[in-house]
């Protein structure tokens, strides 16, 4: 259930990193949402320049991205990595375009809005040319927690993530396939993208661990939640893990509420009224959110709702699955474009 309205006037849009996993999803989302486009520029590295990608039954030639690529552009959707975003930000802003960035380059920078449109759309008005897309695990986490939190304030959240290969791009997805084939054929496999063999395995998220023992993905969930909610009242502790799933992240979430937890009927009502959420919670059939069913879906799937009886009417457990390439990346960015 989506409530973000597309603009009525056509916009000139540029996609930086157009040939990557998220770049391709940018095009798919723009098409599915019927986003009015005056001109679409597909930008990538020199290596990909000259290739063609299909958009609305038209083949568009991919151009090499330069500092001059953004003349006449209204909105620039970036998924080309932090260093590229930092290198080209000023060129985008100087051209009069708004940069919506999917990397971590600007998320925690003071003065740059960090937006989940269903949660803090008002922040999109206060930009200086750049808006940041939150981390995928943070978006999916908040989509599941915020509908409850705004009615029944949450004091503490404990979240464990089950993150798919899609979070690390096409190379990781291909490595998962190849690693799985090798394991099935009893052949040796040397990982290139991931630190360990991926097939039939799971491991702590492959991001840097600091002196606190938390990895970067876990720190992002903690800090980004504070920025999006403009509050430190909801404390978060996270454990982020890579699992051998191609696409769509899952998260197990335990919530402790300040006063009382909503009962299950109240929780379902809150989710039913919140855009971008679909409840999948059939105890009789043991049917709950799964990455296979979340893949390709705009909505995040929430279920496995149950009272945490150790918290004396103040606790709730839930499970969420969301497509990392869509709501965790491309869809959220295009929804931000719609807000503009």
Torsion sign, CA atoms 325, 104, 35, 301: positive
Q: Give residue 136's Cα distance to chain centre.
A: 3
Helix (H, G, I), strand (E, B) or coil at 324: coil
Cβ-contact 22, 325 below 8 angstroms: yes
Q: What angle separates helix 136-149 from helix 216-229, to the nearest 10 degrees?
A: 40
Number of CB atoms found within 10 A of residue 80's CB: 25
d(CA 130, CA 75): 10
Say which residues have a Cβ less than 8 Å from residue 311's Cβ, sequence separation at least 6: 256, 261
Q: What is the CA radius of gyration of the chain?
A: 20
User: E strands along 73-168, which residues?
Assistant: 75-78, 98-101, 130-132, 154-163
Question: How is the beta sheet containing 277-279 ordered, strand by strand?
Answer: 203-204, 235-242, 154-163, 249-257, 315-322, 300-307, 277-279
Output the CA–CA distances (angstroms, integers) from residue 66 to 89, 92, 167, 327, in the order listed. 12, 10, 26, 28
Among the listed residues 127, 149, 205, 249, the single catalytic one is: 249
Residue 241 class from Cβ within 10 Å (0-12 exposed, 13-18 middle, 19+ buried)?
A: middle
Is 136 annotated as catalytic? yes
Query: Phi-psi category of 248—alpha, beta or left, where left has phi over 0 and alpha has psi -120 to 50?
Result: left
* Rounded-to-integer distance, Cα 262 and Cα 152, Å: 7
Would residue 250 show up in a list of annotated catalytic residues for this protein? Answer: no
Out of 127, 136, 149, 250, pick the active-site residue. Answer: 136
Q: Could you list the active site residues? A: 136, 249
């Amino acid at each position: 259930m989506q409530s973000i309205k597309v603009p009525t006037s056509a916009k000139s849009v540029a996609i930086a990193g157009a040939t990557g996993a998220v770049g391709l999803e940018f095009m798919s989302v723009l098409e599915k949402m019927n986003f009015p486009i005056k001109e679409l520029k597909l930008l990538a590295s020199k290596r990909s320049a000259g290739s063609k990608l299909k958009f609305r039954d038209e083949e568009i030639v991919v151009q090499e991205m330069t500092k001059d690529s953004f003349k006449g552009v209204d909105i620039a959707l970036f998924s080309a990595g932090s260093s590229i975003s930092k290198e080209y930000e000023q060129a985008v802003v100087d051209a009069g375009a708004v940069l919506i960035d999917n990397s971590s380059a600007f998320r925690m920078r003071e003065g740059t809005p960090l937006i989940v449109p269903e949660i803090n759309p008002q922040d999109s008005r206060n930009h200086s040319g750049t808006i940041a897309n939150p981390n995928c695990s943070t978006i999916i986490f908040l989509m599941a927690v915020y509908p409850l939190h705004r009615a029944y304030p949450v004091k503490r959240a404990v979240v464990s993530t089950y993150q798919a290969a899609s979070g690390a791009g096409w190379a990781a997805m291909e490595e998962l396939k190849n690693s799985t084939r090798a394991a099935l054929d009893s052949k040796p496999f040397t990982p290139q993208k991931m630190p360990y063999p991926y097939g039939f395995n799971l491991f702590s998220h492959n991001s840097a661990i600091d002196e606190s023992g938390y990895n970067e993905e876990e720190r992002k969930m903690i800090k980004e939640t504070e920025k999006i909610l403009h509050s430190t009242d909801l404390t978060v502790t996270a454990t982020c893990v890579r699992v051998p799933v191609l696409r769509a992240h899952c998260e197990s979430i335990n919530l402790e509420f300040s006063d009382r937890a909503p009962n299950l009927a109240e929780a379902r009502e809150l989710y039913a009224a919140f855009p971008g959420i679909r409840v999948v919670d059939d105890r009789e059939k043991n049917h709950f959110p799964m990455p296979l069913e979340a893949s390709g879906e705009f909505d995040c799937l929430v279920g496995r709702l149950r009272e945490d009886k150790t918290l004396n009417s103040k606790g709730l457990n839930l499970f969420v699955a969301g497509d990392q390439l869509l709501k965790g990346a491309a869809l959220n960015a295009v929804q931000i474009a719609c807000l503009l």
